[in-house]
Structure 1
Amino acid sequence: MLRQSSLSAEIGNGALDSRLRAMTGCDPSELPALCARLSHVLSRYGKIFGPDGEVGLFSGPGRTEIGGNHTDHQRGRVLAAAINLDALACAGPNGTDTIHICSAGYPDIAVSLGDLAVQPGEAGTSAALVRGVAARFTALGHPVSGFNAYIESTVLGGSGLSSSAAYEVLIGVIVNHLFCQDAVSLVQIAQIGQYAENVYFGKPCGLMDQLASAVGGIVSIDFKDPETPIVHQIDYDLSASGHALCIIDSGADHADLTEDYAAIPREMGAVAAFFGKDVLRQVDYEAFWQNIPALRKAAGDRAVLRAIHFFDDNLCAQKQATALESDNFVQFLNLVNQSGISSSEHLQNLYSASAPGQQALPLVIALARRLLGGTGAVRVHGGGFAGTVQAFVPFPQLDTFRGRIEAAFGKGCCHVLRIRPEGGAVIAG
């Protein structure tokens, strides 16, 4: 840990520049803005919690799903990556049994470590995530003490870039550094975040978001054994491919989509249950095709189609990882498009059947394909129905592409992102 004054001096004299470049993969021209953001967070902490205490600077990045759409909850494979948008914190121990967190734009949080049981009234709140992370660290034999933190995030809520996973990983990294001597692995921190979100926050999410945020870079993840997922980092420089990674916010309404999301694992599960299995990963592929007539009667046509998507996209995610590792970006782009077509035709998660007049996602995809003109790639991003679209855009086309997309769907809807080499990180302290 460092005194606030010492940390401020390190930011100002460039001592953290190499650390920031290693963590974010940024260009030197971006360092002044990054350092200004660090200084602001450090200053806000001092104004709220008092000057010159011992603190550290911490970061939890957002993530993008690159391959494997709705495959993780069936113990399949995914390809994902940390991105250059993050939740950033200044934090330090406070010598009490209470965690105090102030986050820009959100209510302050005070979580007593004297009661780490699930609080029903906290469901769906940041306080639930903090309590859940602290509870899980404690249950794993890592006593947690009180700390103060000030947090600012550039990961937009509802953007499909997993602001919740960035927050969970950030809190986990803080606790790990302040009280565990960084003994807990990044994979364990991801699992702790998932536990907090499942049990305390009340959202039955998979582990993809937290793992991508915690581990960093591009990661191929196999969830065949969810307790010990196989995580493989892929050393690939996306910028060297000549393409920009764009995430486009469709502006579609997220309200009342719970049943649409829940129907996907339920219907996939119905197909698995036909074979006496828990998830589709356990189902024999050839046996599935041989039983299509009986499956249609038992689970319905849409469930069968969604199972086809799982089998196809599970294999596609593996092929995408192989394409990147062999530096075959043309094949990678073909596979991204293939995944997008499967999501549209088989998974059917581009719009809600209960509101057929609202089809912003397929409209974004249609315009993006027209603008790309056979180059690049485009697919639904994340859960679907509303939310975001992912596009890989050749650099010479980027300005025109972004301008036309934003003219149709709103200024600022097209986010140009960069893959971040590191995931959950201690920046200094």
Structure 2
Amino acid sequence: MRPAVKKIDEIYAPNVLEAQKMRYRAAECGFAEHFGTLGEHRFFSAPGRTEICGNHTTHSRGKAFAASIDLDTIAVVQPSDDGFITIKSEGFPEEKVSVDDLDVKEEEKLTAAALIRGALKGFRRNGYNIGGFKAYTTSKIIPDCGLGSSAAFEVLIGTIITHMFNNGQIRSATIAQIARFAENEYFGKPSGLIDQVACAVGGFVAIDFKDDDMPIIEEIHANLSDYHHALCIVNAGVKYGDFSKEYSLIDAEMQEIAEYFDCESLRQLAIEDITLNIKDLRQNFGDRAVLRAIHFFRENERVEKIVHALKNDNFDGFLSSVRESGDSSFKYLQNIYTPSDVRHQPLSIALNVAEDALHRKGACRVHGAGYFGSMQAFVPFEDIQQFKMKMEKIFGVNSCHVLSVRSAGGCEVIF
């Protein structure tokens, strides 16, 4: 699949279309105000994402299920022949990167400039054309909720380069891999690939990372509204913090189990290897590592169950697997709160309130990497207002965001 060219009314719902058109016009004004003039230009969009199943499986070459969402980052783009990519993002300083200086800059780590430079290097080392442009970007992706704002920005840059310098002929999967390269090697964050794939491809997507260099990506065609459900993301009030130690321990403990069997990753094993050797594994690595390995294998199975359910119009089966995934994350993966701070468990509270509000309908689970308090729920249309009221009574106004799944990934947008 390659990044598409979409009409604006193909990617935004009718009830928000006029507001989105005004947003694009405002971005044009922002471009002109910042750069002094606006000549011939083009529009681009990349959505955020939500992980639905496959919690912390990708580093062990597991399976995942995700979707793009109807919140995006957009860009007004004008070609430039000065040899630079210059990007002004609303609310942030301008970033300017030379297309001829693609070495890693330590002082740029964790900056947008690093992502831009890394993307340029990724395209060039894969034999693709690169060039300069000016862009003004704005984003509607909610921060601190694990909705892939960094991945959307990376995919946006890749989509622009693909359309402007490569005739739109680079596969979405390749754009995602280049985006991850930029984030890992230049930005300095050891992320997996699920965020970038979901943002680049769009819609519901199943991903098998058995071969990390060539993951198997399958688009699953389904529409939440056909089942009268909405996607809700709840921010339980904890800002995204530095949980890198906790995240690295998840990967490290799974890796310890794999290495016990002289394997590079858990994907080379079966759950029977764990159960048949559970006594030795507990003695050598502790109970949590064993539980996390069990979660890995069961989560892979749940991804397959979710795909099968949606392909066969079995939404109850989909919801059941989502609930099982959340239950496994809480009990076995254990990424709902940090052991060093058991006094504060906002995500545990959010899950409890959500389960009570849903009355055994829908589904809820931890969202994304965990620890920092973002929860995902699939809520029946008739219960949305009540669900939102109950969540916001606990976590504050605008803590519950009602979203939908967007079918388009990174794309050029035509008015």
1:53-68 alignment runs, 5 A limit: 53-68=39-54
- 1:386 matched to which residue of 2? 372
Question: For structure 2, which runs of at least 5 residues remain unmatched after alignment?
Answer: none
Q: Give the C-alpha shift of residue 137 in structure 1.
A: 0.8
Secondary structure of the residue aligned to 2:135 is strand
The offset of 1:285, in angstroms, is 2.3
Give the aligned partner of residue 286 of structure 2: 300
Distance 2:84 2:239 in 1: 37
Percent sequence identity is 44
CA distance in 2, matches of 1:105, 1:185: 31
TM-score normalised by length of structure 2 = 0.97
Structure-to-structure mapping, 1:8-407, within 5 angstroms: 19-24=7-12, 26=13, 28-407=14-393
Q: Give the stretch that moved more between structures: 134-143 or 215-224.
A: 134-143
The amino acid across from 1:249 in the alignment is N
| Local SS of the residue matching 2:339 | coil
Letter of the 1:180 counterpart: N
| Kept after mapping to 2: 8 A contact 1:96/1:145 | no
Amino acid paired to 1:265: D
- Structure 1 residue identity aligned to 2:90: A
Kindly indicate whether the alpha-carbon contact (under 8 Å) linking 1:92 and 1:149 is maintained by their aligned counterparts in 2: yes
**CA-to-partner distance for each residue in 1:273-330, whole Å, 9 max, x for gaps?**
1111111111132122100011112211100000011111111011011101111011
CA change 1:184–1:53 in 2 (3 A) is same
Q: Which residue of 1 aligns with 2:409?
A: 423
Deviation (angstroms), 1:253 = 4.2
Determine helix, strand or coil for the equivalent of 1:354. helix
1:165-194 CA-to-partner distances (Å, cap 9, x unmatched) read: 000000001111111111211110000100
Task: Provide the rounded CA distance (Å) in 2 between the counterparts of 1:130 and 1:284.
Answer: 40
Query: Which residue of the partner structure matches residue 11 of structure 1?
Result: none
User: In structure 1, how many angstroms separate the alpha carbons of the residues matched to 2:386 and 2:271?
Assistant: 43
Query: Which aligned segments of 4 or more residues in structure 1 are displaced greater than 6 angstroms?
Result: none
AA matched with 1:364: A
What's the CA shift for 1:139? 1.2
Can you list the C-alpha shifts for 1:240-294, whole angstroms capped at 9, x where unaligned? 1111110111112433422111110000000111111111111132122100011
CA RMSD of aligned residues (A): 1.3
Quick one: distance in 2 between partners of 1:99 and 1:300?
50
Q: Which amino acid aligns with 2:263?
A: K
CA contact (8 A) 2:322 2:364 kept: yes
- One-letter amino acid of the counterpart of residue 180, structure 2: Q
TM-score (norm. length: structure 1): 0.94
Structure 1's unaligned 5+ residue stretches are 1-15
